[in-house]
Amino acid sequence: MAAPTQLAYRTVKGVGILDASPVYEPLAGFERYSFASLLQGEHVTNANPDRPEGNLRCSAYSPDGRYFAWASPEKVTIIDPSVGHVVSTIPAENVFELGFSPLGTYLITWQRPTKDPNGDAVKNLKVWQVAELESGENRIVGQYVQKSQTGWNIQYSADEKLCARVVTNEVQFYQSDDLSKVWNKLRVEGVADFALSPGQNLSVAVFIPERKGQPAAVKVFLVPQFGAPVSQKTFFKGDKVQLKWNASGTSLIVLAQTEVDKTGKSYYGETTLYLLSSSGQFDSRVHLDREGPIHDVSWSPTSKEFGVVYGTIPAKTTIFNVRGVPKHSFPLTPRNTILFSPHGRFVLVAGFGNLAGQMDIYDMEKNYNKITTVEAANSSVCAWSPDGQTILTATTSPRLRVDNGIRLWHVSGALLYNEDINELYDVFWRPQSTIQHPLGDPFNPLPAPHASAIAYLSTRKAPVKPAGAYRPPGARGQSTPLAFRREDQGGAAYVPEGTATGGALNGPARPRRRVVPGAEPVEEFLPPGAAPGGGVALPPGADQPEKLSKSAARNKKKREARKLKEGQPEEGANSNPSPPGEKKKEGARKNGQQQQKQPNGTKAAPAAAATPEPVEEGAPTVQDKKIRGLLKKIRAIEDLKMRLAGGEKLEDTQMKKIQTEDSVRKELESLGYTGAA
């Protein structure tokens, strides 16, 4: 039987180790080192008289899973996580960061920068050789001054033969067993970051940010052939980058980001994605078909493909091959995280942070079929277990100080384990190889949930369906119009501001129709087959079927009647009008025929057609509008006079308005208004 998967966690006062599937028990022989247990007088096995007190600031597994270490204010303790026994202790005080070399041979510690009595900086980055036995000596093999906590750690080659660190304008390489002298150096003006490749053929990628109008650049060199880069890419809009090698060390993803988005579309800067090969055969920008930020990018363990979550929310998730060609795209959803399982069979696409915490799990070997969606609200940690079947989610402090704890989910979506932990700071899996945990068939048989999961599910309330937006009675029971739907629900596509289609910055929207008060409404003209709100509007007069609203049709009828009444020819009439005399005679003749033949009623219809029916009075003239405005002023003045008579104190502007009553009435009289004002 394979060894169980294992995870470690760190809380406000201690650390703990849990053997996960299938046992779900604390590691036998390991004491949960905490000051609280001492105060409560708890009995513990394998007691250590030099037990840590106070906060445990950091903890970590070695990359090969051989060791586990944590730092207390007085020292660093290293244990064997298989049995829980102490392997070694290192007398390093106030360690804030620690890490191991790939094979666990060396432990690196970082302390806050300080100065000695002479004012010189103390060497605060130290590399210790881990003693195999507790009685052995942990000797320092190298120490340096490292002011910044960002990028503090030394990088090692996979076989631990070489290590490297960046200093001003160069990357220095050392032989791991002798850090007293530089073995080789890569001189690059302005280098800000670097990344060593995994795999057999060691390469190094360096990043040079924009400087004095020159573009940023990423260059790849073979170690130790530093004469010329084997691959490079220059670009603007790159204040900082993330350098991500695939597992075989043959391809590099460069995620470039600016601090500020000069277009104003994002608060968090612009992001672009590039792909380079370590052999120099390929380098290109990865073209994304959706505008917006790049939320996450991750390599598959197979090194043959990678996934990207990008675009405005709802985001798009696409799987690319090693050449940056899209292979498959998932539906648009509110997601910002992508994680491949250790065996490369499953991919998890989730939305954490300010999103709802939903996780979609897809089976890549079965045509990217969706297996399930898991609700993991408020999660700040998410990671696959080494067995490729279990997913860890956790809510940690200080992001959220309530409901802290860990949950383990099966790839089928079932909850396997739940534990509430007060002020949980960190939790992570013990690294184990996929050889120790072959995948097999994860769905046959399905694992049984732990009692804690059953208890948690029994107390969990059934999800309440949200009430949704208010709908008037006449619109209830109907589907949501397309104009109000999100893009992933079939609504209109998001169009950024300033584009030809006239979209809105905040999301999908149909173009606004300009409305002028008092003017007739302008109708929208669509080409055959176009849907309303699609962003297509043709000017009046285009060869399109005209469809008028009731008010527009009524106004059109009034205009035509007024034209006939005033003796103007109707639109589309003969362009050669008759002379005035003939027109007058023709009108008299028609009127005479109507008067003569009206009594018997046999030929009254043609005459009636020639004579327009009585219509309502036309639109108000400019004079009518002016009279209406003056009457409105009179009513306002009367209202102010009533308030003044009631004892109310008026403002100076209101008193001046009352004094204008006579001038307003005179203006009404001059316009010919005779009614009561």
The residue-averaged pLDDT of 572-595 equals 46
- Cα-to-chain-centroid distance, residue 25: 37
Q: How confident is the model at residue 595 (pLDDT cuts 50, 70, 90)?
A: very low
In a domain, 277, yes or no: yes
Percent residues over pLDDT 90 in the chain? 42
Q: What is the pLDDT of residue 52?
A: 39
Q: What is the mean pLDDT of residues 653-668?
A: 89
| Average pLDDT value for the chain | 80
Q: Count structural domains, the chain.
A: 2
Kind and range of the H or E element at 308? strand 305-310
**Domain end among 284, 319, 352:** 284
**How much is the average pLDDT of 122-131?**
91
466 pLDDT more than 90: no
pLDDT at 46: 44
- Length of the chain equals 677
| Radius of gyration from C-alpha coordinates of the chain | 39
pLDDT over threshold 70, residue 420: yes
Confidence at residue 588, expressed as pLDDT on a 0 to 100 scale: 45
pLDDT for the residue 341: 94
- Cα(170)–Cα(430) distance, integer angstroms: 34
Q: Which domain holds residue 637?
A: 622-670
Report yes or no on 324 lying in a domain.
no
First to last CA, the chain: 101
In a domain, 237, yes or no: yes
- Preceding peptide of 445 cis, ω within 30°: yes
For the record, the structure tokens of 542 come out as 């285009």
> Average pLDDT of 248-254?
93
Classify residue 515: in a domain, yes or no: no
Q: What average pLDDT does this structure show over 96-110?
A: 94
Map residue 372 onto helix, strand or coil: strand
How far is residue 518's CA from residue 586's CA, in Å, rounded to a whole number?
A: 39
Which pLDDT score, from 0 to 100, does residue 3 have? 79
pLDDT of residue 517: 55
49 falls within a domain:
no
The average pLDDT across 277-294 equals 90
- Report the 10 Å Cβ neighbour count for 272: 19
Is the model's pLDDT at 251 over the cut of 50?
A: yes
Q: What are phi and psi of 318, to 5 degrees?
A: -130, 140
190-240: per-residue pLDDT in tens? Answer: 999 999 999 888 999 999 998 888 899 999 999 999 989 999 999 988 889
Supply the DSSP symbol for 226.
Answer: -
User: Pick from 243, 258, 284: which residue ends a domain?
Assistant: 284
Q: Quick one: average pLDDT of 280-295?
A: 90
Of the two residues 197 and 592, the one the predictor is more confident about is 197
Amino acid at 272: T
pLDDT, residue 646, reads 80
Q: What is the DSSP letter of 493?
A: P
Domain stop point among 263, 284, 305: 284
Q: Identity (one letter) of the amino acid at 635?
A: R
pLDDT digits (tens, 9 = 90+) for 518-559: 555 555 555 555 555 444 444 444 444 456 677 778 888 888
Alpha-carbon torsion, ordered 362, 364, 368, 373, to 10 deg: 0
The rounded distance, in Å, linking the Cα atoms of 97 and 71 is 8
- What integer pLDDT is reported at residue 576 of this predicted model? 46
Query: What pLDDT, on the 0 to 100 scale, is given for residue 497?
Result: 54
Which amino acid appears at position 479 of this protein?
Answer: S
Asked if pLDDT for residue 614 goes beyond 70, the answer is no
* SS3 call for 37: helix
